[in-house]
Amino acid sequence: MNIKDAFNTLFGRKPTPRRVILGSSHEPTAIAQTIDAGRLHDILRSAEAGDMSDFFALARDVTAGHGHTLAEFGKRKLAVLAKAQGIAAKDRKDPRQRLIADQLNDHLDSLSTWLPGMVHLLDSTIYPVAVLEKFWKTSDRPGWRFELEELRPVPYRAFDFTLGYLRIRDLDENGAPLGTFHDLDPLRYVVHRGHLLTSTPDTWGGPLRAILFWWLFAVMDRDWWARFLERFGAPFMEGTYDRTDDNSRMLLERAFSAATRLFGIAVPDGASVKIHQANTSQGGDAFEQFHSVANQEISKIILGQTLSAQGQNLGLGGGQAAIQGDVRDDIRVFDALLLGATVRTQIFASLIHLNGWQIESPRITWGGELEINAEMLKSLREAGLDFTDEAIETISKQTGIELVRATSPAQPAQPTPPLGQLSALASPPPGDPLADRSSRARAATDRLASSAAVTLSEDLGRMLRPLATLVGEATSLSDLEARLKAAIPSLDYNQAASVAEGVLVSSSANAAQGFREA
């Protein structure tokens, strides 16, 4: 079954034939170089009436030809698209939804026009609207009937608002406009409005309307500055002569007129020439400040702040930097949310409908709803929170680094109590009945074993095995110390006491281990 038959079967109609738009030979001519305030107002009035051809032509010239606007517009888009893209099932517990979300990830990764399509949709952060055309093809993926073949930006010259709403002008295969129009089919088009101006129609121009005026001031300022320098910036000459000598006056006039060609003058005897340099510093500062203000206003409209475009002395503390950074982050998150909503409802929903899947549209994010960073992960762990396998997978997608759960580290050995305390634990308090002494001794040896004294006893046993017989022969701790000094004459009193304690600990721990095994 070919794609036309499949559409007939599914929807009882044929798909709209594909239109090929080649090159830019039919783009409107540039008009920015001849614009002035009166012409700009005429363009806005025509746009409000539904004829937006000149408006979009001027918008193209401004966003592509004005360096400051181009740079700020690019920052606005990159703030979203430079983040890692992720697609997640609406219900993550549903294995079918998770499977389709993973397949969508693979499909979009293989679609060469996906990223350019998202770049075009983000035009509408300052443009009033942006439109993509979806082209479909039959799919050989298991469980798929159709998939995207291409996402193609619809040129603004094809927009028509003469009836009060957006229609698309038909174009021939070479991109030339025809005299017919068609409405926007949801299965064929993606329409995105990425700004906050919901109370004004598209024909008012979106946020770009406010940018156009400041752009005009910025470029007019450059023109005015050039005219100012042409008129007042060049040095001028002053000549003096004898008023009764007409011949000297004529020679001086001819010398002045030739000075621009010869870069020098010859004057008659008795005449003199002075050269005066124009003072342009004060006028130049005024033009520079005005141009800076115009660019700052453009930055505010596009990015909500100015610090990313121009360094400013913020004084001690610089608290404005953090505030303006928060504003820019809010704009980035808002752009990502709107773009994600458009993709979910107009691209993913069409895929689900065409393939007959009975699921909810997956969610797509750029950078995640929360920024994943080391400080955040550290804070969560310090708060006693751990991560599930699904959370680790999500973090891996957002960071671009494959993460796995670390193996549980070996539990550190419990610290062994000081030897003096071990001797006290092994010796029952004086005056206790014999039965109580026996039970207390067992409890003491159990506590010794639980604190890793067994390991210690093994190490000490290997070193002190020749002295083990002294323990059974000694009647008291002092007797054991005396026997040790007799066996090892080089030991002083402190060393003998330490060795005696070690021997007692080793013997007690070994006795406890033997008791457990019995």
Q: pLDDT tens digit string along 99-119?
A: 999 999 999 999 999 999 999
- Residue 287's SS3 state is helix
Q: Same domain for 68 and 191?
A: yes
Cα–Cα distance between 199 and 201 in angstroms, integer?
Answer: 7
Q: Which DSSP string corresponds to 47-108?
A: HHTT--HHHHHHHHHHHHH-HHHHHHHHHHHHHHHTSPEEEE-SSTT-HHHHHHHHHHHHHH
Q: Same domain for 248 and 157?
A: no
**Per-residue model confidence as pLDDT tens digits over 435-492:** 555 566 566 666 655 555 556 556 555 655 666 676 667 777 777 777 777 777 666 6
Cα–Cα distance between 506 and 445 in angstroms, integer?
Answer: 11
One-letter amino acid of 25: S
pLDDT of residue 425: 45
**Per-residue model confidence as pLDDT tens digits over 300-313:** 999 887 765 555 55
Domain extent for 392? 374-402
Q: Same domain for 134 and 259?
A: no
Q: Same domain for 380 and 436?
A: no
Q: Same domain for 42 and 189?
A: yes
Q: Same domain for 337 and 443?
A: no
Q: Same domain for 172 and 29?
A: yes
One-letter amino acid of 211: I
Q: In Å, how far are 73, 293, 411, 491 from 66, measured between CA atoms? A: 11, 15, 64, 92
Taking the model in full, what pTM does it have? 0.63
Count of alpha carbons within 13 angstroms of residue 482, beta-carbon side: 7
Cα–Cα distance between 91 and 362 in angstroms, integer?
Answer: 8
Q: Same domain for 96 and 42?
A: yes
**Per-residue model confidence as pLDDT tens digits over 205-227:** 999 999 999 998 888 866 666 66
pLDDT surpasses 70 at 342: yes
**Per-residue model confidence as pLDDT tens digits over 227-280:** 666 665 556 666 777 777 777 778 777 777 766 655 566 666 667 776 666 555
Q: Same domain for 41 and 141?
A: yes
Q: Same domain for 362 and 380?
A: no
> How many Å is the maximal CA-CA distance in the chain?
146
